[in-house]
Structure 1
Amino acid sequence: MVITQIFKTDAKRIVSDSFMVFMYIAPWVTALIVKAAWVYSGQHYPDISLQQYAWITTLAIALLTPMNMGIVLGFQLLEEKEQGVFRAIAVTPLNNDRYLYYRFAITAIIAIVMTYFVHELLGLVSMNAFNLFLLVCVAAWQIPLQALMIAGIARNTLEGFAMMKSTGFMLLVPMLVLYFFAASKLSWIAGVFPFFWVIKAYQYGLAEQTTSFMICLATGLVYSWVICWALLKRYRSNALK
């Protein structure tokens, strides 16, 4: 079956590439290190309170998972675009759209599971399990967005690395804005970054403000979908040339 063959090829490619392996294991290693440091600090320096940093630390590490997986997928699609794989698939029964949707779906499913367990592994903050599941599902929408920003805009691997660096700001900027300026109405300007809505929903989820939580998730989902649609059209156009 074509899908099975694609999955096996992707798995071999990731395992044989040290950069891709690193991107997959980085959130787990980071979570374990931070968890150990957090416990050590609590035992040896009880006068230092780190609780005010718990939510932003947890979210930063948890969101590394979909971000890193989106970057890995982006480089895979960029490589396939350079090699003409996308053009070849266009004449198969699988066709381009099904191929891309498969790649996005399988990566998103893996990311949802990983992100959920990385969050729980840290254990620095507590959130309703169902709300957390909804949150990581919306966060997984950043995977096609990240991937298509790299594969759709970059023309080669060098430009892909430049795009990878810029996509990091999509997480860093809204996170810093919502940490330092959450009380200011101007913080909503950072809503131009898709990750903003996931981070804002997380804040509302921790505060158990269900209505605001759902609104932010829905906004983030729709907004990310619109951007993905535009980037997908660009990738299709460039990859079929």
Structure 2
Amino acid sequence: MALTQIFKTDSKRILSDSFMVFMYIAPWATAVITKAGWVYLGMHYPDVSLDPVITTLAVALLTPLNMGIVLGFQLLEEKEQGVFRAIAVTPLNNDLYLLYRFAITAVVATVMTIFVHELLGLVDINLWYLVLIVVVAACQIPLQALTIAGFAKNTLEGFAVMKGTGFLLLVPLLVAHFFAGESLSWLAGIFPFFWLIRAYQFAVENQLTQFIICIGVGITYTMMICGLLMKYYRISALK
């Protein structure tokens, strides 16, 4: 019953908040605009060369991060209201509560990401490769959410943290685009999103061994960081 009530409350909160509604609509709108722009450039400016892999990564596979931002602001609002402290004394403990929030958001983001990827339609990739990649992308949800909710004290600071973490995505994308063939590019592996990018590139090239390694490292590394962020969030939310 408690989880059902949380789901209903979250749904009402998202539908009543224009920013959160926008974050859910943005991936679809961006995919449609990008696809239309791609077709237009192909018809009128055939000499313009764009990278379909990087474009897809920048549009479709950022969808889970959008969902993580929405969840991060939800957790931040609940931290301000003392909801996390209240849950600590109920049968629904904090860890189960957070796991539920992450799981629901991950399921929604996974479905959305696959549909947005296919709507964009710039890269032809094996479905099973795509599903595994989206699993790694879904791991970014708690990372993004806990970064915002853990380090920000209010909504204003939340927006600042959200903007400040943009380089965590931008740097791996730039490295993958301009320095993909260089061994030093692997130094960008300190950024969790880098492993998602590399896994996608290897999937497109059908390099199974490298793909599996990047998937494994991506999930393990991201979950380790999420574990540390969860501990920090518990401390800040229970103050």
Q: TM-score range by the shorter chain?
A: over 0.9
- The aligned counterpart of 2:43 is 43
- 1:27-69 per-position Cα deviation (integer Å, ceiling 9, x unaligned): 1000001111112222333x3254x411111111012211111
- The aligned counterpart of 2:18 is 18
TM-score by length of 1: 0.97
Could you tell me how far apart the structure 1 residues matched to 2:24 and 2:167 are? 19
- The aligned counterpart of 1:227 is 225
Could you tell me how far apart the structure 1 residues matched to 2:234 and 2:166 are? 24
Could you tell me how far apart the structure 1 residues matched to 2:47 and 2:6 are? 50
1:131 maps to which of 121, 129, 153: 129
- The aligned counterpart of 1:53 is 51
- 1:109-141 per-position Cα deviation (integer Å, ceiling 9, x unaligned): 100000111111011111100000000011000
- 1:149-203 per-position Cα deviation (integer Å, ceiling 9, x unaligned): 0111112222111110122221111011110011111111111100000000101
Unaligned ranges ≥5, structure 1: none
Could you tell me how far apart the structure 1 residues matched to 2:158 and 2:36 are? 34
- The aligned counterpart of 2:157 is 159
Give RMSD over aligned pairs.
Answer: 1.0
Percent sequence identity is: 69
TM-score by length of 2: 0.97
1:194 maps to amino acid: P
After superposing on structure 2, the runs of 4+ consecutive aligned residues of structure 1 that deviate more than 4 Å are none
1:84 maps to amino acid: G
- The aligned counterpart of 1:86 is 84
> Alignment partner of 2:166: what SS?
helix
Could you tell me how far apart the structure 1 residues matched to 2:65 and 2:211 are? 21
- The aligned counterpart of 2:188 is 190
Could you tell me how far apart the structure 1 residues matched to 2:120 and 2:47 are? 19
My pick for the range that moved more, 231-240 or 32-41, is 32-41
Could you tell me how far apart the structure 2 residues matched to 1:216 and 1:123 are? 23
> Alignment partner of 2:145: what SS?
helix
